[in-house]
Structure formats: structure tokens, C-alpha cells
Amino acid sequence: MKVFKFGGASVSNIERISRLPEILRSYPAEKLLVVISAMGKTTNALEKVVEAYYKGRQEEAFLLFRQVKETHLTMAKYLLVKNYLAAESRIRDFLTEIEWLLHDRPLREFDYYYDQVVCVGELLSTAIVSAYLNEMGIENKWVDVRDIIRTDDNFRDASIDWEHTQARVSSVIGPLFETADLVITQGFIGSTDENESTTLGREGSDYTAAVFANMLDAESQTIWKDVEGVMNADPKEFPDARLISELNYDEVIEMAYYGAQVIHPKTIKPLQNKGIPLYVKCFLDRSLPGTVIHNKSIKGLPPIIVLKMNQVLVKLHSRDFSFVGETHTAALYQLLASLKIKPNLIQSGAVTLQVCLDDKPDKIEKMALEAATIFNVQIEKGLTLLTIRHYLEETLQRLTTGKQVVLRQQSPETVQVLMK
């Protein structure tokens, strides 16, 4: 059994979707569980729908939703002949559910509506791709992952109920493979015990695939991307970025932690726990070697560069010039935990604590307000956090030239500078 994940870019248009049969045919006589994301930028488009809806701009929400709807119906029409009607009816059911929701005024929190609306992206893409593959003679079963992946109700960042999900995987997915070689399902989404849809955090499909790999004891997981494999920097920002052909779990966790957009940070643990190798391969050219990620130790890695834009530095200065001690530090961590804020970097000094965060204005405002009861609070926005693993002084020099460094933190392996 192998688990594959195809990201949004690999199903973003007809030309790309029509590459899937060839890829899947090259794994004959294999049991494959395939996790697919929403097509292209659908998740972003759906986010705009929910925002408009929640802010009371209902007409705009409908208009934006209609675009998503048309795109998918058109896609289905192009790709399907024999299976068109069946697929269309499934697609329309998903769409109608959202349209009903958009008709009512929001009564609950934003994140709840976000998940109910955004989850449709994955449902639509998998319904279309599954019907298309069946039509191409690649028989498969489509599964609504919300019947399998059970989560808590922490909408937008839901946690998986491991025990319940494992039981569903064993009782539902296991038997499916007795009569099918290919099962197609959605990444990123799940459901609560009250059948409310949830999402696992942006880019969460990698994680879904890893959960399945773990629970099915898969021999490997492959993430199919539109890039060669894992690079040592984002090729859009750094044209001389190069492929890293071999990495280990620890390194990838570190990279993801520092914000590399390679693989969803939660992906590694389920794989590491069962020693399942992760391949990152290019669906545009299957013959490229890609990257393998496993448990072995690896020497001589190149500098790995991660840039995080839109950073905010929150400076907390103790009010009465008393030393920052365990009480102040504890208060800060409690505050971060209560607001569910993940700090990207924390530095403490004699009378100050400095925290670098992603710029989420509502959270930062809340944090600043609460922190102001203990500290004098200063906020600086518009910063960039540069992280280099296995850094060379020359790389650091090159990347910080002409910038003003406002904070620096360093260990033998990693250097981080916050700059503007």
C-alpha cells in the first residue's frame, strides 16, 4: 500500500488533471490511497466567500461563490462524458449545501463558517477527479473523508481524534481495498462528532495523507508537486535554489518549523512514528529523482534558507524596570497559549521580552491589550524573518546586505535575523 497526495497545483487545470492517469498507471498492481487538495487557488477563493458572507456582504459572497461553482462545473464538463451526469449531481449537492448556508445570517463564530464553506473545495476536486479516472478506465472508489477523519471542534485548526479515526480507517478503508486498488479522498478536511465539517489548517492535505499512511501501515507516502522536489530555498525568491535529494525527518521538521513552505509541519510525526519514507516528486516529469525523506542521518546539507514575510515584533518592557523573570515569561507564554498564537521567535533580555509573530491583526491587538496590563508594549510591523540552517557567514552577509537587522538569534546550526 502506498499513499499519494496531489496538491492543488497538480489538479489546477485540465492539462494537469489529464496527467494523473499516466502517473497512476505506472503503479500497476499496487494498492493506492490518493489524497487530493482543492483545485489551484480554490481554497483562497472560498476564503473570500466566507469573509464577504461573515461581514454581511451577502451579494458579494454569492457572486464569488458562483465563480467557484462555474469553474468546477466547466471543468467537469470538459473532462467527463459518460460520468458527467452522475458527477454533476454530486457536485451540485455540495454546492447547494453552501448556498443554503450563505442564505442565512451568521450566528456562530467565523471559524465555524470558514470550515463549512472552505471544505467544499476538496469535495469538488475529488468528485471530479474520481469520475474522470473512472471514465479513463482507472477504477477507483471515492470516499468522503469526513466519514473517516474525526476531529475536535477547534475549527480551522482541528485536531484529529486518533482512536476514532483509526477505527474508521480499519473498518471502512481497509475493506474497500479488498475490492478496489485505488481509493480517492480529500485532504485537509474532517468532521466533528456532530457532523460539522472542520479543517486541519492551510496546506493540511500533506498531513491527511500522512495520517492515512500511518494508519494503513503504508510502505511509503509520495507528495506530487509542480517542483522538482524539496529545494534549499524558495525558487521564486532565489533563482539559484537547488534540489536536496535526501533529507531526514528532523531536518524537515526544523525547516517547516521555521516556515519553509515545503511540507505541512504536522506531516512528519505520523510518518516518523512508523518509519515510513516520504517522497516528494514532480508530477510534470516522473523521471526526475525528487527528494526522499527518512530516518537516516545526513551530512553536508547546503544552507537552507527560509524567508517569512509580514512579521510583527512585539516588544514587552517590564513596567517598573523590574527584571524579566519567570513570572513575566510565564505570563507571556500563557497569553500566547490562550490566544493560540504561535511565536516565530522569542528573545529575552534584562527588562524586555521580544516576540516575533505572523501579522494577524486581530490576534496581535488582543495580545497587545492584555500584555499592556503587565508590560509597556511596542509593536513594529512589516518585518521579514530570515532563517538559515547550516549557515555560512557569506550566505548570511549576502542576504542581509542593505537591510536593517532588528533582532538576531543564533545557534551552531541555525541563524535567524529579523530585518526590515
The binding site for Mg ion (CB under 5 A) comprises 7-8, 37
Minimum Å gap between C-beta 122 and ligand ASP is: 6
Number of chain residues interacting with ligand ASP (CB under 6 A): 12
Minimum Å gap between C-beta 210 and ligand ASP is: 12
Residue 187 binds: one of ligand ASP, Mg ion, none (C-beta under 5 to 8 A by kind): ligand ASP
- The residues, any chain, with a CB within 8 Å of residue 377's CB and separated by 6 or more, are 314, 315, 316, 317, 368, 371
Task: Find the Cα–Cα–Cα–Cα dihedral 368, 370, 371, 377, rounded to 10°.
Answer: 40
130 forms part of the interface with ligand ASP (CB under 6 A)? no
Among the listed ranges 141-149, 203-211, 223-231, 327-335, the one in contact with ligand ASP (CB under 6 A) is: 203-211
Nearer to Mg ion, 4 or 375 (CB): 4
Whether 222 contacts 4, CB under 8 Å: yes
Among the listed ranges 202-210, 254-262, 283-291, 385-393, the one in contact with ligand ASP (CB under 6 A) is: 202-210
- The residues, any chain, with a CB within 8 Å of residue 142's CB and separated by 6 or more, are 126, 127, 130, 131, 184, 185
Cell of 398: 549576502
CB atoms within 10 A of CB 81: 9
Instruction: Give the integer Cα–Cα distance in Å for 144 and 208.
Output: 13
> Could you say which of 83, 205, 267, 272 contacts ligand ASP (CB under 6 A)?
205
> Could you say which of 19, 48, 141, 202 contacts ligand ASP (CB under 6 A)?
202
Nearer to ligand ASP, 131 or 209 (CB): 209
Residue 121 binds: one of ligand ASP, Mg ion, none (C-beta under 5 to 8 A by kind): ligand ASP
**Plot region of 297 (φ>0 → left; ψ -120 to 50 → alpha; else → beta):** beta
Minimum Å gap between C-beta 206 and ligand ASP is: 6
> Could you say which of 111, 203, 228, 254 contacts ligand ASP (CB under 6 A)?
203
Nearer to ligand ASP, 157 or 359 (CB): 157
Radius of gyration of the chain (CA): 23
Instruction: Give the integer Cα–Cα distance in Å for 49 and 315.
Output: 35
Residues near ligand ASP (CB under 6 A)? 7-8, 37-38, 43, 121, 187-188, 202-205
